[in-house]
Amino acid sequence: MKILVINAGSSSMKYQLIDMENENVIAKGLCERIGIDGKITHKTHEGKEVALEVAFPTHKEAFDKLMELMTSGEGKVIDDVKEINAVGHRVVHGGEKFFQSVVCNDEIIAAIEDLSALAPLHNPANVTAIKACVEVMGKDVPQVAVFDTAFHQTMPAKAYISGMPYEYYEKYGVRKYGFHGTSHRFVSSRLGEILGGLEGKKVVTCHLGNGSSIAAIKDGKCMDTTMGFTPLDGIIMGTRSGAVDNSIVSYVAEKEGLSWSEMNNILNKKSGFQGISGISSDCRDLEVAAKEGNERAQLTLDKVCYQIKQYVGSYAAAMGGLDAVIFTGGIGENSASVRYNVCKDMEFLGLEVCEELCANASRKEATFNTENSKVQAWVLPTNEELLIARDTAELVK
Ligand code: ADP
């Protein structure tokens, strides 16, 4: 079975074609600048690469082109589009309606569209991509929606309700939804495979990338997570502020004469690593600058490690214990110093880590706790596309 995985944004579309016999990626690529001009970069498993500038007025033309590249010329990996059994779409927001992946029909597509108020930049793009696939491949090829929020739908109300008047939840669906659910589910279920199940296990998963979130997972189910109504909540990220005292927002807006949308832009695009360090949103740049003595780069790294440590502790308290901490995402998989600074001095919780093992744990499945540690510390590389493909294959079987 061959599954195409699509991750669509408003002007871009990432794709992977996965052979489910061996879960290998046959081809992958990126369509960019949709609605502006258009560019596609396509790579095959044999290392062949095609890069073209083509007009992409809409996602449909981009989809047409990627189908053409897969079936002809240098980038060819299949003889016919009909070899693709189904398409799995990453959909950002499933609201309270979707707690698992679903095969799309007109009603489901309309429901995803209805949730656009909660994810105005993402859900409309996801719907556009689903419709483009139906148009090009026909109605017989199943389109599956896999939601970023779905895994977090098991959170209890006390975790997801906000401190504001309840009527806003009733009127506008204002509550914590959580994101990166596919990644938290992928790495926690991988740990379940390794340990022979997650029954009775209390796990904290740290997905640390340009966007970051942490989740508390008990018996394989999400109990709490750091991102909230939007991905802005939680810890500091590349350019997002994470949670701040809400009064700061109106105070600074008034002082600086900023509109809501300007303030939103600052909180989402100019804060976090970028905003505190004043240097970069990229963790690697901050690590280099901090080594060279840059104090604000060091402060930024200290802050993010401090926040992650706080969440590990608070989620252990929320779950009544801790069996494992998992690190994943670009920072979680690569930065030994972030992992070590989060996990050191946590012996009171039963977590004891080895600095040398931690330094050698990057970019692979590895533990870095000591032999005596009651709590395991893991690096488990994430693979959201593979989980989308697995869900899709399972649903269309
Ligand atoms: P996204 O959330 O966009 O998928 P990634 O998961 O790729 O992002 O994570 C990007 C982050 O990972 C960046 O901050 C980058 O600096 C960081 N990163 C990548 N490699 C390393 C490394 N070797 N050491 C430290 N940080 C790294």
Q: Residue 255 class from Cβ within 10 Å (0-12 exposed, 13-18 middle, 19+ buried)?
A: exposed
Residue 170: what pLDDT? 98
- Spacing of C-alpha 44 from chain mean position: 24
Give the mean model confidence (pLDDT) for residues 259-274: 97
Q: Is residue 390 one of the residues assigned to a domain?
A: no
Q: Which among 284, 342, 360, 364 is the best mutation to test ligand 1's pocket, defined by most ligand atoms within 8 Å of the CB?
A: 284
- 226 and 370 housed in the same domain: yes
- 136 and 68 housed in the same domain: yes
Residue 262's DSSP bridge partners are: none
Give me the domain span that covers residue 50.
Answer: 2-147
DSSP symbols for 174-232: -S---S-HHHHHHHHHHHHHHHT--TT-EEEEEEESSSEEEEEEETTEEEEES--SSTT
Last residue of a domain, one of 147, 162, 179: 147
Last residue of a domain, one of 88, 116, 147: 147
- 131 and 210 housed in the same domain: no
CB 103 within 8 A of CB 396: yes
Indicate which CATH number applies to the domain containing 349.
3.30.420.40
The domain tally of the chain equals 2
Dump pLDDT digits (tens) for 199-210.
999 999 999 999
Q: Which among 90, 279, 283, 333 is the best mutation to test ligand 1's pocket, defined by most ligand atoms within 8 Å of the CB?
A: 283
Q: If pLDDT is split at 50, 70 and 90, which confidence band does 121 have?
A: confident
- For this structure, is 148 an active site residue? yes
Q: Is residue 72 one of the residues assigned to a domain?
A: yes
Q: Is residue 175 one of the residues assigned to a domain?
A: no
Report the distance separating Cα 81 and Cα 100, nearest Å. Answer: 27
Q: Is residue 181 one of the residues assigned to a domain?
A: no
- 48 and 119 housed in the same domain: yes
Give ligand 1 pocket residues (Cβ under 6 A).
209-211, 238, 282-284, 287, 329-331, 334-335
- 331 and 233 housed in the same domain: yes
Q: For residue 386, which amino acid is it? A: L
Residue 10 pLDDT greater than 90, yes or no = no
- 200 and 136 housed in the same domain: no
Strands 143-147 and 84-91: parallel
Residue 249: what pLDDT? 97
Q: Whose CA is nearest to atom 7 of ligand 1?
A: 330
The candidate with the shortest Cα–Cα distance to 227, out of 207, 249, 246, 245, is 207
Q: Is residue 396 one of the residues assigned to a domain?
A: no
Q: Is residue 391 one of the residues assigned to a domain?
A: no
Give the mean model confidence (pLDDT) for residues 378-394: 98
Dump pLDDT digits (tens) for 38-82.
999 999 999 999 999 999 999 999 999 999 999 999 999 999 999
- 220 and 75 housed in the same domain: no
Q: Is residue 167 one of the residues assigned to a domain?
A: no
- Spacing of C-alpha 271 from chain mean position: 19
CA dihedral 378, 381, 384, 388 (to 10 degrees): -80
Q: Is residue 114 one of the residues assigned to a domain?
A: yes
- The residue from 79, 106, 114, 148 that is catalytic is 148
- 131 and 240 housed in the same domain: no
Tokens standing for residue 128? 């556009």
- 326 and 201 housed in the same domain: yes
Strands 2-8 and 84-91: parallel
Q: Whose CA is nearest to atom 12 of ligand 1?
A: 330
- 18 and 140 housed in the same domain: yes
Distance 283 CA to ligand 1 centre (A): 6
- 227 and 354 housed in the same domain: yes
- 231 and 354 housed in the same domain: yes
The candidate with the shortest Cα–Cα distance to 93, out of 115, 76, 110, is 115
